[in-house]
């Protein structure tokens, strides 16, 4: 870890592990952003850290992500976690629990067709389909951002119960009323999260609802790069927290 990262390391939570619930974003936080969603790399030590933290907090650790649950399971194989997928559209409240899905409007087929055409016309643009949404990634073609937004605005998504969210080098279309703040609140309704103070960490504008909800619930809402300079510094903080003895943090 760099000297700058060390200086900016966040202090341990003021409450003990027995009162904490981790709710952690995946892309850009636990793992570095990759050129495409399927290209992220998960270091083995990260899985060990997350497993230790989960055990330390009585199972109260969840991944809160815009990805579908199955994708997170793919990147964290063999050790399932509680997951709020697609910003809370799909919820698995415990590692061995069933997946719950919200009743939501159906994404119109013509949007998918037009999105595929945009990707064909603009090489470097990629389309990420979700069961309840759609993401147009332009990291590989930054000059297409404005044109893609104009196309999406032309779909008038609000009339179909959706809204457009700016993300990192992407436009995301998802159901109205679904966000990571909703996911945090929903997780806190049931064990093992009930009665605990959430620790939410993210890196993107799509994470701000989760940050606000965590703070409103008496917990911590932290962001990269505001609170941690980069992903390695954040992972080092998690690893340090996990190193404490008993009901104590290691930082």
Q: Which residues are catalytic?
A: 25
Asked if the peptide bond before residue 192 counts as cis, ω within 30 degrees of 0, the response is yes
Q: Are 64 and 25 in contact (CB under 8 A)?
A: yes
Q: Are 151 and 127 in contact (CB under 8 A)?
A: no
H or E stretch covering 100: strand 99-101
90-92 sheet: strands from edge to edge: 99-101, 90-92, 82-85, 61-64, 20-24, 197-202, 220-223
H or E stretch covering 109: helix 109-121
162-167 sheet: strands from edge to edge: 126-130, 133-137, 170-175, 162-167
- Which residues, including other chains, have CB under 8 Å from residue 39's CB and lie 6 or more apart? none
Distance CA 84, CA 87 (A): 6
Backbone angles phi, psi at 197, to 5 degrees: -100, 120
Backbone angles phi, psi at 55, to 5 degrees: -65, -40
- Which residues, including other chains, have CB under 8 Å from residue 99's CB and lie 6 or more apart? 69, 90, 91, 92
Helix axes 231-242, 44-56, angle to 10 degrees: 40
DSSP state for residue 12 in the 8-state scheme: P
């Amino acid at each position: 870890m760099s000297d700058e990262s060390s200086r900016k390391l966040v202090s341990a939570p003021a409450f003990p592990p027995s009162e904490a619930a981790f709710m952690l974003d995946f892309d850009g936080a636990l793992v570095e952003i990759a050129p495409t969603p399927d290209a992220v790399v998960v270091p083995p030590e990260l899985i060990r850290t997350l497993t230790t933290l989960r055990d330390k907090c009585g199972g109260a650790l969840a991944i809160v992500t815009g990805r579908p649950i199955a994708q997170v399971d793919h990147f964290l194989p063999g050790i399932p976690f509680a997951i709020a997928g697609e910003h809370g559209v799909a919820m698995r409240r415990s590692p061995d629990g069933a997946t719950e899905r919200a009743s939501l409007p159906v994404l119109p087929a013509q949007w998918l067709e037009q999105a595929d055409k945009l990707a064909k016309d603009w090489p470097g643009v990629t389309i990420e389909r979700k069961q309840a949404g759609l993401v147009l990634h332009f990291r590989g073609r930054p000059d297409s951002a404005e044109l893609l937004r104009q196309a999406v605005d032309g779909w008038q998504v609000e009339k179909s119960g959706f809204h457009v969210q700016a993300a990192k080098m992407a436009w995301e279309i998802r159901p109205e009323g679904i966000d990571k703040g909703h996911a945090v609140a929903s997780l806190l309704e049931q064990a093992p999260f009930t009665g605990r103070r959430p620790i939410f960490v993210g890196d993107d504008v799509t994470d701000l609802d989760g940050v606000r909800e965590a703070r409103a619930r008496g917990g911590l809402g932290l962001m990269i790069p505001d609170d941690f300079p980069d992903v390695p510094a954040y992972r080092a903080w998690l690893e340090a927290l996990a190193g404490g003895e008993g009901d104590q943090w290691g930082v």
